[in-house]
Chains A and B, each alone.
Chain A
Amino acid sequence: MSERVWLASYPKSGNTWFRLLIGCLDLKDGESVDVNETAAKGGIASARHPFDHTTLIESDLLTAEEIDLLRPRVYEALSQGLEEEPEEAGQTRELEFVKAHDAYTLTSAGEPLLAGARGARAAILIVRDPRDIVASLANHNQSTLDEAIAVMNDPAAALCARTDRVHKQFRQIQLSWSGHTASWLDQRDIPVHLVQYEAMKQDTAAIFAEAMAFAGRPISLEEAARAARLADFSELQAQERERGFGEKPPKTEAFFRKGRTGGWPEELTADQVDRIEGAHAPMMARLGYEPSLKLERAG
């Protein structure tokens, strides 16, 4: 059985925070989380290096389409631990949590890009109120709020899709925010556990412990609460101020920005709220994100 679990999410939905919580489980007393070391553990599904390492092929000479056709083979190999150094093979393998911003899609050959049950044993899907994502995504992309909304509403949106350069990550078909969320929730290849950012904020320890039990690494509520304290948002912000954070895009001010929930009424105009709610009402309803009053009146 695969020892890999996807940590799937739309960008700016709490994926890094979740990985830092996992990293804090291994900290000894007196140690504090290192945002740069801990967040990098496990890597991301769209990373170029593991693909080149496993296939021996220079991925920067392949088209995005050719890469996608081979990606399932790479995840199968990584999932079986075939790519480890010989001295590491045969040892008990630890559960590995791998970030993924890809939507759960099929390749042009009709197979799951992420290799279904051969690529991972399960997925934890982290979702966040799309209205709260807007300002965070705009900051991350150094774009306007309207541009961020356009990306979230674009059914064909993709990350790292420029073709005149080599991106460090592969093109990731992301779909719209609703499309991304539905692709993970509705696939039937691997079990998926839904984590809502807002619930994590409210009761971090309980939500985290529940997700870890689902993934196959049960922890006590005390352990979960300790991790939550060590990865407290103010601690992450303080570390970023002090040492910087490697995943921050070069031109943005901070990666750990506000991390709050329900801030959107102060960030978005009524028109911008309309555009997000108009495009995503069914999925928002499915996840329990209440539409704003204006929409209720209109509806």
Chain B
Amino acid sequence: MYLRGPSLLFFNVSGLVVASEIDLPWRTADAVAAPDVTIRQADTPTDLPGAVEAGPTWRIAGDQFLLRIPGVARFLLTKGREITFEIEDGAPAEDVAVFIIGTVFGILLHQRQQIVLHASAVRVGDKAVLFCGPSGAGKSTMAAALNQKGYQLLTDDVCAIDLDAAGVLVAQSDGRRLKLWEQSIKGLDMAERKAGAVRSRLEKFYVEPHEPTNQTLPLGAVYVLREMRAPHKDGIERPNVVDAALFVRRNAYRPRLVAAMAQKDRYFRSAAAIAAGPGVFLLTRPLAFKALPGVIEGLEQHWREIGLLGDAP
């Protein structure tokens, strides 16, 4: 990965066509005259005057959102359509790219008033099955383990949710690669699919999934990942609709922005629809790799019960 000149690269991600001056580990797309989002390297301010909401590393003022990742880059997001970035301290392009495909694009989706969950997703039958949770909850590891078993990867880490023309809740694919820690790559026996480090200074790597899918699929189920620790017992349970809706909102890509961008009602309505429809489930399991086969067996059993998989073994 390296910085390009003025020529643009095109990507297809979360249902959007993105034109970028910087190469990104996304599915490439044909060039179009009017992309949904453009990403350019340009002078980027250090502050936004008139900020109405702010945190230690970010500011919101009107249609603009400024994010600073110290020592990597500053990013200015405008109207959910334009991203400019200015590299700090000569950070390598890979470092900029990995934050663009994660935090920056996730914030852009929030800015576009999109429902976006902190989730990885695989295809089960003809539906999307999502695994939500904060960093370290095991989303990518779960998606990778299922991918190893033959389930296509839909998305890793960021999952945009839409209503299609028929009013069905759908999950967008993003054609991204998995990001896994060395420990997970070893634990899942995926060394032969390991690509470059996500950042030169981290032992976290891109991993090529088997058969990623670029389809948009109806939501089949949403699992909230939880570690098995007392007093929680392992297993799958379905919380009541009110709790389920709260779980979904807490697993927005950046819950802080749901409040800051006045999106609570929008999330509440979508969350209630997901909870009442496809269903929100708590998946409590031990984090150890050796427990994964049993966890997947339990999931497949659950998928047969809720009709995502046929009865045949």
Contacts and interface: CB of A to CB of B under 8 A. Distances in A.
A62 to B, nearest CB: 8
B15 interface: no
B134 A164 contact: no
Interface in A216-258: 240, 243-246, 248, 250
Contact of B256 (A56, A163, A166): A56
Interface stretch (A82-90, A92-100, A195-203, A286-294): A82-90
A61 B230 contact: no
B183 A165 contact: yes
B127 interface: no
Interface string A54-72: 1111111101001001100
Interface string B257-280: 101000000000000000000000
A52 B118 CA distance: 12
Interface stretch (B54-62, B213-221, B301-309): B54-62
Contacts of A245: 230
Contact of A60 (B56, B135, B232): B135
A1 B293 CA distance: 51
Contacts of B182: 164-165
Contact of A61 (B57, B107, B204, B288): B204
A48 B231 CA distance: 21
Contact of B70 (A66, A85, A165): A66
A53 interface: yes
A147 B47 CA distance: 49
Interface in B238-265: 254-257, 259
B134 A77 contact: no
Interface residues of B, number: 37
Given A244-B231, A246-B230, A55 B135 contact: no
Interface in B183-201: 183-184, 198-199, 201
A214 B182 CA distance: 46
A70 B256 contact: no
B237 interface: no
Given A56-B257, A57-B69, A244-B231, A166 B57 contact: no
Given A57-B57, A63-B202, A166-B136, 18 more contacts: A48-B136, A52-B134, A54-B55, A55-B57, A56-B254, A56-B257, A58-B135, A59-B135, A61-B204, A69-B70, A69-B71, A82-B55, A162-B183, A164-B181, A166-B181, A167-B136, A246-B231, A250-B286
Interface of B: 55-58, 67, 69-71, 98-99, 102-103, 107, 134-136, 181-184, 198-199, 201-204, 229-232, 254-257, 259, 286, 288
23 contacts: A36-B231, A48-B134, A48-B136, A49-B135, A53-B256, A55-B57, A57-B67, A58-B99, A58-B102, A61-B198, A61-B204, A69-B71, A77-B55, A82-B55, A86-B259, A163-B202, A163-B203, A164-B181, A164-B183, A165-B182, A166-B181, A244-B231, A248-B230
